[in-house]
Chains A and B, each alone.
Chain A
Amino acid sequence: MKKDQVILKVESVSKQYRLGTIGTGTISHDLNRFFARIRGKEDPYLKIGETNDRSKKGKTEYVWALKDINFEVKRGEVFGIIGKNGAGKSTLLKILSKVTGPTTGSIKSKGRIASLLEVGTGFHPEMTGKENIFLNGAILGMTKKEIQSKFDEIVDFKNNFLAIGHFSDATIAVRIISFKEEEINQTFWTNKVQMAYDVRESLGLTKK
């Protein structure tokens, strides 16, 4: 496997959000949009050029959280994103993890992407730990067979390294173990964008 192979490519990704509460006016906005689209015109609420530096209130109700983001990540590379509050870090991660879609642009990836955004998601307090591990693994896209084969590893990991709390440790364990070396680009994203790859490596989970 080539070392300098590009495994994640983000091309001119933009994301537009609507400000304010959703409720009054949305039906008419939706209809306006719809008519604009069938007449082949541009979306009347997408106004590129509006600046969003968070220093003053925008004129329109719509705001670009991300505008024209381009970058590439190579295999084995550690990639960090830093920025002020509201710069769009989390939005970018949300798009990368397919939680929400971009307004424009595209993302190409050669590996599975797992988000470590907040732990505990998908765990049900009334089920046993084993049932929870299976459910969580499946949410991350593993098949039952894959989870079965990694079950001991997950439990070991949990017991040895993350003996804190109840849910959070098991969640992290499932997420870190759940990806095969070949298919993962070691791109784990946390809320503040630290690479879990380092964790894997220091725990001896990556084969050298």
Chain B
Amino acid sequence: MQREKWLFEISPKTSLFDLNLKEVWQYRDLLLLFVKRDVITVYKQTILGPLWYLIQPLFTSVIFTLVFNNIAGISTGEVPPFLFNLAGITIWNYFKECLIATSDTFKKNEAIFGKVYFPRVIMPMSIVFSNLLKFLIQLFIFICFYIYYYLDGYTISPNKYTLFFPLLIIAMGIIGLGLGMIISSMVTKYRDLTFLVSFGVQLLMYLSAVMYPLDLMREKLVNIEKGTDYSWIVDYNPIAHLIEFGRFILLNDGNYSTFGIIYTSIFTVIVFFLGLLIFNKTEKSFIDTI
């Protein structure tokens, strides 16, 4: 008898590294359709619609400028504080949205995951892509203010590193996706994590140099008199490095460290693959535990 050929096989023991990326590629149309669905439906039945994309970063920037620059007196050097904050928030928002939206993938899609099979990783990936669109709209408004301030006589300019901006955004999205996949996998078993995420992200923003220069933050974290040194908080925070680097390439202001860039790159790759592995392992059995 000839060896029989099967279209597919279901078995309990699959290797941890069996990521089945080929299958993900076969489902690429589904990915696009999910992105389309997110974009179409998110602001249905709202009056201002996509304008919310713009209102949120602008208002946040205004408040940050009032609190951190006017009240607390943080100096942003040559750069107008409003633009400084807007740059930080625009980049930070993309990370935040990716992380928060992907971190409840399993819980939110329980109904559909419980009935139909498709590579689950399509879901968080589609979130990262649909948020990219939102990011581009916010970037556009940033560029508008950029031009306004430039014409107003401020010394801001892009530099040769600006070409790396897309890479920076990809890294931001991937870290958000990776962390989101890890968290969403763990949430299926330990629901407590949802609470941690919602305020953890909030706290992380304050540690990620969104509204102040990284150097200033590092400086203030070291207290020679008391002999305490908390500068590791920013040194080992990849998001802080990404935001600082982002501001450097957009505004030609601030500083970036080679260490920071290398560290962040390695972190990104590790988090992404770790996320994929954990997510992949969870997708096989999560429906029993959720």
Contacts and interface: CB of A to CB of B under 8 A. Distances in A.
B116 A140 contact: yes
Chain A CB within 10 Å, residue with most, of B8, B26, B30, B191: B30
A126 B11 contact: no
Contact of A107 (B9, B112, B113, B118): B9
Contact of B33 (A103, A106, A110, A134): A134
A35 interface: no
Given A99-B287, A121-B115, A107 B10 contact: yes
Interface in B110-140: 111-118
B288 interface: yes
A138 B30 contact: yes
A124 B114 contact: no
Nearest to B42: A126
Contact of A108 (B9, B41, B45, B191): B9
Interface string A114-138: 0101100110101100010011001
Contact of A127 (B6, B41, B113): B41
B41 A122 contact: no
B11 A105 contact: yes
A97 B112 contact: no
A18 B287 CA distance: 12
B41 A121 contact: no
B12 A101 contact: yes
A131 B40 contact: yes
Contacts of A108: 4, 6, 8-10
Nearest to A119: B115
A139 B118 contact: yes
Contact of B37 (A94, A97, A131): A131
A100 interface: yes
A98 interface: yes
Interface in A121-173: 121-122, 124, 126-127, 131, 134-135, 138-144
A88 interface: no
B36 A100 contact: no
B189 interface: yes
A141 B122 CA distance: 12
Nearest to A125: B41
A135 B32 CA distance: 9
B78 interface: no
A104 interface: yes
Given A106-B11, A122-B112, A139-B30, A98 B40 contact: no
A183 interface: yes
A7 to B, nearest CB: 9
Interface in A5-46: 6, 9, 17-18, 22-23, 26-27, 30
Contact of A105 (B12, B190, B191, B285): B12
B7 A112 contact: yes
B116 A122 contact: yes
Contacts of A122: 112, 116
A15 to B, nearest CB: 9
A66 to B, nearest CB: 12
24 contacts: A6-B4, A9-B6, A17-B288, A23-B191, A30-B189, A98-B117, A99-B115, A99-B287, A100-B285, A101-B284, A101-B285, A104-B12, A106-B11, A108-B8, A109-B8, A112-B7, A122-B116, A126-B41, A135-B33, A138-B27, A141-B27, A143-B29, A144-B32, A144-B33
Interface of B: 4-12, 26-27, 29-30, 32-34, 36-37, 40-41, 44-45, 111-118, 189-191, 284-285, 287-289
Given A100-B284, A139-B118, 13 more contacts: A30-B189, A99-B113, A100-B285, A100-B288, A101-B12, A106-B11, A108-B8, A108-B10, A109-B8, A110-B7, A115-B115, A122-B112, A138-B30
